[in-house]
Chain A
């Protein structure tokens, strides 16, 4: 078996997960077939029109930097990487008059368990990210950009490099783009697969060639970023949303979603559903609708709980989740986070202790080891959950878990500590009885569990 054969076993073609015609009003995935990723086809879908628009092509007047930022602000586009920070506001933080280099970075280090949207965007529609970054670079006056791509998606990285070549050859990147005075150099960088490098300052460290460890903030990247220069970092999906906003206007994007939560969002639905995959739907779509698109819970099973925004977001039981709409505010009100939009569905065959054991192991494994609570605490959490799972739990363990998670949360340099603590606390909040059952009976409460 060749190396390629081995790798290909782990690579989804995306056809089943992305091209199923069950998106609602798609913007990023609109018109994709899985094979039409090249520049010509992107242009045929209206690609690079937004860039032409702001640069004032074909006799039309272009947009100013302020107009671009105002449009993005109006759209209520919020960061798709997980934190949901208003993108227009972030762009306005960039000191545009700063002399010397400024950088634009795309965070494609998609490592959150459950999330696979950026991979598919980069793989099937790479030019939309390039165009979005070029527009952002124009708005903030940056001349150099990097796309940091997750280390474990090899062919996607190669394809993105190919797309960059196409864009450069067509004059969409490089010096004097489309004959204007705007210059923007965009490069791709391939990571090494560390989850922590998805944290923006760890990503910058890694991009600089150092060990990927988050920096203490302040100073924030907008003033001290890549190589100590002002830097803006956005998620792949955020950039991918920008061309549509520029073409159709901020108001149209806002209307598409709901107030304060503009546009569409790609949800990576995984777990116990009939048709796992990426679903692009307008913000504010009811969860029940999303579940329906994904074919519902596996045949013969009941919905037990949902992790609504990637593995680090607190788990919500079915009853709460079914009332939610899929947008930042609704999920936040329910006590969790929309995060990166990775919806992990758990049916009634799932043991919560086993699930938490798997999650805690992940965070222990991915802790960078820099600051004390996370380095020491993530391992402690996993060990306690593991002993409960293996029937060696003690009655005080639930209090211990909650206390250790509480000691980690809010006391670390970056959000990984919080990410490790939140699932633990939410699991205990909603499913404490399962843990108690494990401790008491040294066996699982879920009989069907295999």
Chain B
């Protein structure tokens, strides 16, 4: 620690810090544009010039290291003169079109111009015009004349997204930010460039001209898509979600969110939304009131229970539903006398997990510190954009990532060892690595395997270094031998000191396990229910045709079910449903998601339910009442959460009690191959909301899957 003096205040700060860090610590604001705490230093905007005693020139605070006894003045005339002159330079070629700029009102340049700009310009020549660029459906580069060349977007691409899609071409006044040869920006994290752009050069295309920033209410929420549980600020106007930006949370998403989290809100305003209950009568869909619809459901369920027994009733639920919704559905099904409930629609194997929920195994914030990572069966970058970003930072800090999968990893980070194996032979490939580890350590291998060169390379990597993890991706968890994969990885982890975890697919995959959304003894699993094992089927927030491993064939088997009740925010499952109950998406209901690391994150509704739709927890409570069932009579979503009592006593914050989580699995006795290909959702096919976001569907990432769906 060294001591410096900043504006007369003594500050203790670590050696190697910059003046900017000291100022942040002291709560002193130094104006800046190019500096961003998560990006490398450019020191190019020169806005943060400050007066350092004994230095003849003003120094950039962002890039000047502190020294013992340094005396800094951030508001002396020398500092302020320098800052004002930089502001003048920034404004001479800036179009000053704030009234028609989407950034107006939340623009760093605009804000700082108030403090450091002059009333009148001394520049009377023509201003520079930069031609607009077309870079895809998410980012608008219409206003490139506004660009101040801070290169935050360029550095974001290089350092955070891992792919330098934007660069500064040309020189001097002709320098401009553009993509290489007019390509589109295809990163799954691209929207963050909009946030970090300090001016209106990069703006959100879907939000363009929709509202002014001061008209928007800001409400906190949690992303309902992948298992990161990214914290969101949802911007609302007239009871409509118009924009989503990240809420900073160092432990979860830092200051980033994936494009899926950011632009999926379009799906909330989709014309597909179901706004009133509907019943199919004589093949025709009729809009009815809630009472009629619920009575229809209650009558149907009671009849089927009487005729075929409770075991012919079951529920297929979504891991994107809230903890409360899942718990109430599970309670409803069990109170009816059935054990048929499952969230694992895309799985191929359905083992019992001994009451402990499969999870990441380590905190998300610990990922960048890992020195060795083996990722098994994951399209890491697209399935978990933010977790991939954390692992990218680990690689940047010298960590070594290995990959085992059925395709070459394209993760926008260097992968040290890659083993490409067809999914059929994954268990063998893991067994080979285990054998290589066993050989190295002079112990017996768990099952027989061959020490191939690839296996040896990965084993050697895992045996070296500290802080290691083996992470199983969606394809590994949805694999027909998921338990064997997990168990063998567990064995490797045990003998290499690596933590074993599942990246987990959805925003509430961990929560679904904790809420009891898996079949009990004698219950049918998702695969059996989807094969036509039910007379009455409850579909909570899912579309089996898109959300399950069986895909389109779900239609036929569900047509055989006498009663199919769909609870969904959308008009969907029309072909095989009998009743549609409109429930609220995450934005219109309170609830809780448990993310991959076991963090419970509760949220409130950010807008009122659309039309006659209602939060699912209320619908389920009423259904329970009408059916005369016990255990559903909660007064609020919060009460459900409290009833579940998942919080660890000793854990800080909102982490689930560690005794409820675990990744232990039973070792296989031998290795066999399988011909079942694991079902993995493409990045923008993950859930119903994402599928209904037109902008996301227009991205390059969405194209292959969209073509497949059309075919």
User: Are A376 and B44 within 8 A (Cβ)?
Assistant: no
- What 1/0 flags go to B146-189 for Cβ under 8 Å of A? 00110000000000000000001011111100000000000000
The reply on A371 being an interface residue by CB < 8 A is yes
A400 nearest CB neighbor, chain B only: B122
Which residues from A are CB-within-8-Å of B49? Answer: 411
A378 nearest CB neighbor, chain B only: B172
**If the complex has contacts A369-B168, A373-B86, A407-B89, are A379 and B45 also in contact, measured as CB distance less than 8 A?**
no
B84 nearest CB neighbor, chain A only: A407
B86 nearest CB neighbor, chain A only: A372
The one of A211, A375, A411 that contacts B58, using a Cβ cutoff of 8 Å: A411
Which residues from A are CB-within-8-Å of B171? Answer: 194, 196, 366-369
User: Are A366 and B172 within 8 A (Cβ)?
Assistant: yes
The reply on B235 being an interface residue by CB < 8 A is no
The reply on B285 being an interface residue by CB < 8 A is no
Shortest CB-to-CB span from A152 to chain B, Å, is: 16
B172 nearest CB neighbor, chain A only: A367
Which residues from A are CB-within-8-Å of B43? Answer: 216, 371, 413
The one of A368, A372, A378, A412 that contacts B148, using a Cβ cutoff of 8 Å: A372
The reply on B56 being an interface residue by CB < 8 A is yes
Tell me the bound Cα distance from A318 to B181 in angstroms.
52
A386 nearest CB neighbor, chain B only: B125
Which residues from B are CB-within-8-Å of A216? Answer: 41-44, 60, 63
Tell me the bound Cα distance from A412 to B171 in angstroms.
16
Interface residues of B in 39-95 (CB under 8 A from A): 41-47, 49, 56-58, 60, 63, 65, 82, 85-86, 88-90, 92-93
Which residues from A are CB-within-8-Å of B29? Answer: none
Tell me the bound Cα distance from A368 to B43 in angstroms.
14
Shortest CB-to-CB span from A387 to chain B, Å, is: 8
Interface residues of A in 337-374 (CB under 8 A from B): 364-373
Size category of the B interface is 20 to 34
Which residues from B are CB-within-8-Å of A411? Answer: 46, 49, 57-58, 82, 85-86
Tell me the bound Cα distance from A107 to B57 in angstroms.
26
Tell me the bound Cα distance from A403 to B46 in angstroms.
17
User: Are A372 and B174 within 8 A (Cβ)?
Assistant: no
Which residues from B are CB-within-8-Å of A400? Answer: 122
Shortest CB-to-CB span from B612 to chain A, Å, is: 56
The reply on A431 being an interface residue by CB < 8 A is no
Which residues from B are CB-within-8-Å of A373? Answer: 46, 85-86, 89
Which residues from B are CB-within-8-Å of A211? Answer: 168
A410 nearest CB neighbor, chain B only: B57
The one of B46, B57, B60, B173 that contacts A369, using a Cβ cutoff of 8 Å: B173
**If the complex has contacts A194-B171, A216-B63, A367-B173, are A380 and B123 also in contact, measured as CB distance less than 8 A?**
yes
Shortest CB-to-CB span from B128 to chain A, Å, is: 8
Which residues from A are CB-within-8-Å of B41? Answer: 216
A418 nearest CB neighbor, chain B only: B57
Which residues from B are CB-within-8-Å of A209? Answer: none
B90 nearest CB neighbor, chain A only: A372
**If the complex has contacts A369-B171, A379-B173, A380-B92, are A407 and B45 also in contact, measured as CB distance less than 8 A?**
no
Tell me the bound Cα distance from A408 to B587 in angstroms.
51
User: Are B85 and A370 within 8 A (Cβ)?
Assistant: no
Which residues from B are CB-within-8-Å of A383? Answer: 125
**Residue from B44, B149, B170 with most neighbouring chain A CB atoms (10 Å):** B44
The reply on A300 being an interface residue by CB < 8 A is no
The reply on A447 being an interface residue by CB < 8 A is no
Tell me the bound Cα distance from A407 to B81 in angstroms.
9
Which residues from A are CB-within-8-Å of B148? Answer: 372
List chain B positions with a Cβ less than 8 A from chain A: 41-47, 49, 56-58, 60, 63, 65, 82, 85-86, 88-90, 92-93, 122-123, 125, 148-149, 168, 170-175
List chain A positions with a Cβ less than 8 A from chain B: 194, 196, 211, 216, 218, 364-373, 375-380, 383, 387, 400, 403, 407, 410-413
Q: Which 6 A-B pairs have the closest CB atoms?
A: A369-B175, A407-B85, A367-B172, A376-B89, A216-B43, A410-B57
